[in-house]
Structure formats: C-alpha cells, structure tokens
Chain A
Amino acid sequence: MAALHGSTLEAIKHNQAQLLAQWVEALEANGANRNLKEQTLMQETRDFLQLLVDVLQAGSGNDVTGSDWDETRRFLEKLSASRAQLGHDSHQTVYFIFALKGPIFSLLQTHFSDDPARLAEQLWMLSELLDTLGMHTIRTYQKTREAVIKRQQEELLELSTPVVKLWDGVLALPLIGTLDSQRSQTVMESLLQRIVDTGSEIAIIDITGVPTVDTLVAQHLLKTVTAIRLMGADCIISGVRPQIAQTIVHLGLDLGTLTTKANLADALKLALKRLGVNLGEQA
C-alpha cells in the first residue's frame, strides 16, 4: 500500500488545533463525552492526535499490528478500558476514533482541492487506518466487558453456595436455583472443604429452592452424596417437594441410597438423633 503523502501529514500537523476543536465538537454533539470531564476529553484527543502524527511521521506503514504502533495501541486499550468502567456503550467508545474522520476529511478536501485523484487515495488510506484503530478499540472494549461479566459470574457462583453450620457437627447447604454442572462442582467442592474444616459428621443438602430435578441434577446430587460418604460423613437430602418426588419417580431415578426428608426440620431432627443429642422431647 502506498505510504501517506508527505503533504497530507504536513496539513494535519499544521492544523492540529483546528482538528482538535472540530473533533471535540463532534464528540460532544454525539454524547461521547458523557460522564467525562471536559479537561480529560481534551487531554485524550490531544494525546491521540499527537501519537498519530508521531507514528505517521516516523514513516511507519499502515500495519497497525506492527511494533511502531505499540504506543498508540496501548493508548487505545487504556481508553476503551476506562470507557467500559464508566459504563459507556460500544458505540460511544468507538466513536472517539470515528469522530476524527470528519474533521480530517474536510481538511484534506480543501488541501487537495486541485488533485482529486490524490485526494481519493489519501482519504482511502486514512479511512482504512482509522477504521483499523477503531476496530482495535472496540475489541479491547469487548474484552474488558467480558472480563467484568466473567468476574460477576464467578462472584455469583460463590454467593450462591453458602454452607451454614446448624449444630455442632451438622452442616447445611440450602440450594437455590437450577443446578448445572459447573455450579454443582462448586457446591460439591465448597461443601466437602467445609466438612474437612469443621469435622462435621452430617451434611444436609436442602433442595427446596431447586425448581426442577431432572436426571442431570439427580446425578449431581448422587455424586455429591457419594463423595461425602467417601470422606466419612453422612448426607441427608431435605426439601423434597411433592412435585419433585413425582418427577423423580416418573423419571425412574434410583435414589435408593440417599436419605431423604421432606423438610429441613425433619432432616435436622434426624441428624441430631444420629449424633445422640437429646432435645428433651418425650419419646
């Protein structure tokens, strides 16, 4: 690809102030300055234009992935990350780059008014360049957003599996929501770890909050119960609602090895009985 013409660069360099003013104006008109201090925006536009001019002046090609563009790429990465944190949407973020097109194009139009062929060529090159930079920005923006979503998912997983101590030696795990493979893995791990940490002999898994029990959920439950037994503790499943009992029977699942109770109170009573705790009730 032909390099950027020297006079194009000169034109940009000499009209930086004008470009900046028009650029910022376009950004403000589009709302891309939301939640941003005017000073910050000015600083960012000035920095970016300077970086662009510097790189182009150094005669670097249009290959934005090259090492000459490292600093520019880093600048854009930082920019899009900060935009993602501020809650800007993708459009507003990428418009930071695209809004520069208008001012530059109109500048070149007056600069090359006597040479339409060259104007077209230079416009095409600059357009390509800015598009690529814009793409890079949006890619980074997306990555930042994905990282945020991933972190939230992990936090949600942690939050959704609290292991509570009901009595000396009795742990309870109230399950709420659908049990998928990943969640049941987390549930199993945290419950087993707590059993080791507290030396509890009985664990109660309460499935009152689990909307449906299908073959997969039943398999996860069986696995958890088996792992608990292997470690030397006992497990009681509580909160088997009438519909769930019916589903389990209709599906033909064999939960014969599990101890099940209709509600948590019954499960706790059984647990205490096994531990030999006397509640003072008359037999």
Chain B
Amino acid sequence: MERIPILRMGEFLLVTIQVDMHDKLAMRLQDDLTDRISATSARGVLLDISALDMVDSFIGRMIADIASLSRLMDAQVMVVGMQPAVAITLVELGLTLPGVSTALDVERGMQRLSQHVRHP
C-alpha cells in the first residue's frame, strides 16, 4: 500500500505530498506522522503541499488536524508552498487554519521553523 514518506532533517520532519491525496492516505499519514514525532522527538514538522493542486474539505481538515496533534506533541507545524487555487478553496470552505504557520517555500519554511524553535 502506498504511503507518504516522512523524512528526518535534524530536529525536523519533512513531509512532501506529491501524489493525489485520498482519504485513506490522509488517515495513514496522520498515524505515521504521530508515530514518527514520538519516535524522533522532532521539534517541528514541515508540510510541503506545493504539488497539491486540489483540496476538499476532508484534506483541509486533515491539515488542520495534523497541526493540532503535532502541537500537542510539542512539534511546530509549518505548511509551505500552498497553491493559490488551494488557498482560495480553503478560504471559501471556511477552513482558515488558525494557529498554523505558513511559508512560501521549503527554504523559508525551514528558516522560520528554526527561528521559532530557538525563540519560542
């Protein structure tokens, strides 16, 4: 069964979504991610969704859920590379992801994340 790879970069985890998200995959990602956060005691999670060009309410909620559960496990979530169409859809759906940090690309996201971890 396909799964989304979770890469470790120092004290952060990098998740890059490059396939079409479907609901089962999203659930699996949540399980895997929580396991990895606890196993590696990561301080931050970088969620790269630049390849995602369509979202529905379920995927939108999944992003919000990932953010909340990572925060519970003391890992800051940074969503990077959201496409304009995706951002507009999420806003129209009313999923404004309060409390989730965002950045334009992975590089800036990583920079912001390390700043945040160093000076909380």
Contacts and interface: CB of A to CB of B under 8 A. Distances in A.
Interface of A: 188-189, 192-193, 195-196, 199-201, 223, 226-233
Contact of A230 (B97, B105, B108, B109): B97
A231 B104 contact: yes
A249 to B, nearest CB: 23
Given A189-B88, A227-B88, A231-B84, A199 B102 contact: no
Interface string B67-102: 000000000000111111011101110001100001
Q: Report which residue of B80, B81, B90, B102 has the largest number of chain A beta carbons within 10 angstroms of its beta carbon.
A: B102
Interface residues of B, number: 20
Contact of B91 (A195, A196, A227): A227
B103 interface: yes
Contact of A192 (B87, B97, B102, B103): B87
Contacts of B92: 223
A196 to B, nearest CB: 6
A232 B48 CA distance: 11
B98 to A, nearest CB: 9
Nearest to B104: A232
Contacts of B97: 230
Interface of B: 79-84, 86-88, 90-92, 96-97, 102-105, 108-109
A199 B84 contact: no
B87 A227 contact: yes
A230 B79 CA distance: 8
A227 B60 CA distance: 13
B76 to A, nearest CB: 14
Contacts of B84: 189, 192-193, 195-196, 227, 231
Nearest to A190: B84
A231 B83 CA distance: 7
Contacts of B109: 232
B85 to A, nearest CB: 8
Contact of B82 (A188, A193, A232): A232
A230 B104 contact: no
A237 to B, nearest CB: 16
Contacts of A223: 91-92
A234 to B, nearest CB: 10
Contacts of B91: 223, 226-227, 230
A201 B108 contact: yes
